[in-house]
Chains A and B, each alone.
Chain A
């Protein structure tokens, strides 16, 4: 769908993107992660053709990215904006026409979306009369009206209350199931794990990590487990099987957070424990994307 190849963008003294490449599969939700100022917005602006890269190129569906592709891309910027004095309906009509829709078609689709989002009565309201959450809804509709093949959402949930965030999430998933490719730029890692198939992590102008969420998480597994059991108070291994990181005890059960030693598996661990205690619960501790993000970013910035 979209392949980004060796993109470099230089602003005066500051290099915003340094040889960044990534590939986004058709129909997937792709998470673009990174701390503030890492270069996410610069990359998005290059994909949306707001600016041009100094070197490198982008392929859109096997074609070099060009102005005709604008009508196939929808972009919801992080800093939302609408004309304050303009009526909602006229505003959406204008933005949709700028994307190349005919007036009639745009009107039809706006009506459809207004019904879907329960905002039928908003047509002649002005933006300045709407609450922030309502404005966000309008902005979201403006982004998807032209049925883009590629949807770029920069922090789509910021400013929404939980109810409206859920509505927007539902719409995003529906667009996804209809085959829309979605680039999802955010700091909110829980929504990344929930929604994204693939992610890329950018830090200090460079891509430091990318791939399917599951693979990344797997590669960051550290052989850590959480085991709850009933039985003897203390189990101290006298060999090199595991190290206990945390121990919680209540009336009858003990929970251990432990790291299994190199070369050993959970099976070794269990066969060691079973003769001694009654095991209630075993769970592998897999690092969240959030933890991976923090770990990678802080370790790089520390150097």
Chain B
């Protein structure tokens, strides 16, 4: 037992002392924060270059009602369509040609010519503007006063509450999806990151031939477990440091952002007095949206989510690193690992892909249930479901299965490992691995 502690110590210290460990530990939360800040920045300051839209209005009632926006400048023109097209082909400015046919009210179609693909945003803006104009015209024709109609605006907002054993709880589907994404990416990356470290460590020992020296002092199983636990502790250390750093960074950035709020919401460019009100309203909407998101983020039960994350990280890590250790013991160099990696990656990759569609859309369905029970997929499968609320019995069952799963894989991996580490220059196949598994002694 004392020896396994020595091995864990060496594996842990030799990795934590490395410069690359310090760099990733301090850089990653910084990157996360930078990403977080960038997303907010882009969301709040998304601007496209100003585009001129030439409008050939054959109906006669559309062009004068088109109001310029932040990045669309409407220009009514009598030039012929052909000459306008030529002008655009010469590519003087970023421009569009909108042709409104005479019978637009009935046909409900207009034509748009452009020199480069326009973003969906531009199309949407144009569509909604045209819809408004046509609607206003139709209402006026029918004799309905548009102001009266606008005055009647029922605004029901649904406050969704989830009934759980603990009583009512605010359910934030959007935030839950965000957390699910985050967790599934994080667990996927970290399982491979640390599993790979175990594998590389074993290949290093094997190709260095130090393995024989060490194995003549300790049991192969002790060495394998020592390495797995040592690297795992490095992972846990890294996560704990990340959490601490992220939280302190987050606190610092939030403080800065709250101070910076007024400037961030100042509309940057006004075309004229007309657009002003609209932009302001948009900004208010954005602000209230952002506040809800911030509030929802604050409302998450962090200890619960992080606790589950750690449990599934450790369980999943123990299970997968045993498999990685098995692969490491079977090969002579890293280049040979490929053929064995695919089947190991498959279940996780499969769950990871599904987590973005099926699992999030239907977190309580039967596929989600099974994926969160099978030990090979539960680290991602269950973590994705956790933000949506999982019954306690399912959580406990899944954890129990995960523990059984890692005990079995570790047993199998250790049997292959003890033979594999002493085999050199033999190209291992699955058949070979199975044979090693069955060796006596």
Q: Which residues of A contact B (CB under 8 A)?
A: 11-12, 45, 48-54, 67, 70, 73, 75, 77, 79-86, 94-95, 97-99, 139, 142-143
Q: A51-B422, A97-B6 are in contact. Are A81 and B209 (CB under 8 A)?
A: yes
B310 within 8 A of A: no
Residues of A within 8 Å of B216, CB to CB, are: 48-50, 70, 73, 75, 77
The residue in chain A whose Cβ has the minimal distance to the Cβ of B421 is A50
Partner of B212, one of A50, A83, A98, A99: A50
Give bound CA distance, A75 to B216, whole Å. 7
Give bound CA distance, A99 to B14, whole Å. 20
Q: Are A98 and B211 in contact (CB under 8 A)?
A: no
CB within 8 Å of A: which of B415-441?
Answer: 422, 435, 439-441
Q: Are B441 and A51 in contact (CB under 8 A)?
A: yes
Q: Looking at B204, B205, B214, B216, which has the most chain A CB atoms within 10 Å of its CB?
A: B216
Residues of B within 8 Å of A143, CB to CB, are: 213
Interface of A is mostly: loop
Apart from A50-B422, A81-B211, A83-B210, list 20 A-B contacts with CB within 8 A: A11-B439, A45-B422, A48-B216, A50-B212, A50-B216, A51-B441, A52-B440, A53-B441, A70-B216, A81-B208, A81-B209, A81-B213, A82-B208, A82-B213, A83-B14, A95-B214, A97-B3, A98-B6, A99-B217, A139-B213
B14 to chain A, nearest CB (A): 7
Partner of A95, one of B205, B213, B422: B213
Q: Looking at B205, B208, B219, which has the most chain A CB atoms within 10 Å of its CB?
A: B208
Q: A82-B208, A94-B6, A98-B218 are in contact. Are A77 and B213 (CB under 8 A)?
A: yes
B215 within 8 A of A: yes
Q: Are A77 and B209 in contact (CB under 8 A)?
A: yes
B9-53 vs A, CB cutoff 8 Å, 1 = contact: the mask equals 010001000000000000000000000000000000000000000
Residues of B within 8 Å of A70, CB to CB, are: 216-217
B192-230 vs A, CB cutoff 8 Å, 1 = contact: the mask equals 000000000000110011111111111100000000000
A145 to chain B, nearest CB (A): 11
Q: List 19 A-B contacts (CB under 8 A).
A: A12-B435, A48-B216, A49-B216, A50-B212, A51-B441, A75-B216, A79-B209, A79-B212, A81-B205, A81-B209, A83-B204, A83-B210, A84-B204, A84-B208, A85-B14, A95-B217, A98-B3, A98-B6, A139-B213
B177-198 vs A, CB cutoff 8 Å, 1 = contact: the mask equals 0000000000000000000000
Q: Which residues of B contact A (CB under 8 A)?
A: 3, 6-7, 10, 14, 204-205, 208-219, 422, 435, 439-441
B160 to chain A, nearest CB (A): 55
Q: Are A83 and B208 in contact (CB under 8 A)?
A: yes
Residues of A within 8 Å of B208, CB to CB, are: 81-84
Partner of A142, one of B211, B213, B435: B213
Q: Are A52 and B212 in contact (CB under 8 A)?
A: no
The residue in chain A whose Cβ has the minimal distance to the Cβ of B423 is A11
The residue in chain B whose Cβ has the minimal distance to the Cβ of A75 is B216
Q: Are B10 and A94 in contact (CB under 8 A)?
A: yes
Give bound CA distance, A45 to B435, whole Å. 20
Residues of B within 8 Å of A11, CB to CB, are: 439
Residues of B within 8 Å of A80, CB to CB, are: 209
The residue in chain A whose Cβ has the minimal distance to the Cβ of B6 is A97
Residues of B within 8 Å of A86, CB to CB, are: 14
Q: Looking at A50, A53, A67, A142, which has the most chain B CB atoms within 10 Å of its CB?
A: A50
Residues of B within 8 Å of A67, CB to CB, are: 219
The residue in chain B whose Cβ has the minimal distance to the Cβ of A99 is B217
Q: What 6 A-B pairs come out closest when comparing CB atoms?
A: A52-B441, A81-B209, A81-B210, A79-B209, A98-B217, A48-B216
A175 to chain B, nearest CB (A): 18
Residues of A within 8 Å of B211, CB to CB, are: 81
Give bound CA distance, A142 to B209, whole Å. 14
Residues of B within 8 Å of A94, CB to CB, are: 6, 10
Residues of A within 8 Å of B218, CB to CB, are: 98
B234 to chain A, nearest CB (A): 15
Give bound CA distance, A143 to B213, whole Å. 8
Q: A52-B441, A85-B14 are in contact. Are A77 and B3 (CB under 8 A)?
A: no
Q: Are A81 and B6 in contact (CB under 8 A)?
A: no
The residue in chain A whose Cβ has the minimal distance to the Cβ of B210 is A81
Residues of A within 8 Å of B217, CB to CB, are: 70, 95, 98-99
The residue in chain A whose Cβ has the minimal distance to the Cβ of B223 is A98
B352 to chain A, nearest CB (A): 33
Residues of A within 8 Å of B14, CB to CB, are: 83, 85-86
Residues of A within 8 Å of B440, CB to CB, are: 52, 54
Give bound CA distance, A79 to B207, whole Å. 10
B17 to chain A, nearest CB (A): 10
Residues of B within 8 Å of A48, CB to CB, are: 216
A146 to chain B, nearest CB (A): 9
Give bound CA distance, A51 to B440, whole Å. 9
Residues of B within 8 Å of A84, CB to CB, are: 204, 208
Give bound CA distance, A7 to B411, whole Å. 27
Residues of A within 8 Å of B204, CB to CB, are: 83-84
The residue in chain A whose Cβ has the minimal distance to the Cβ of B441 is A52
Q: Looking at A51, A80, A82, A99, which has the most chain B CB atoms within 10 Å of its CB?
A: A51
A151 to chain B, nearest CB (A): 12
B210 to chain A, nearest CB (A): 4
Give bound CA distance, A80 to B435, whole Å. 28
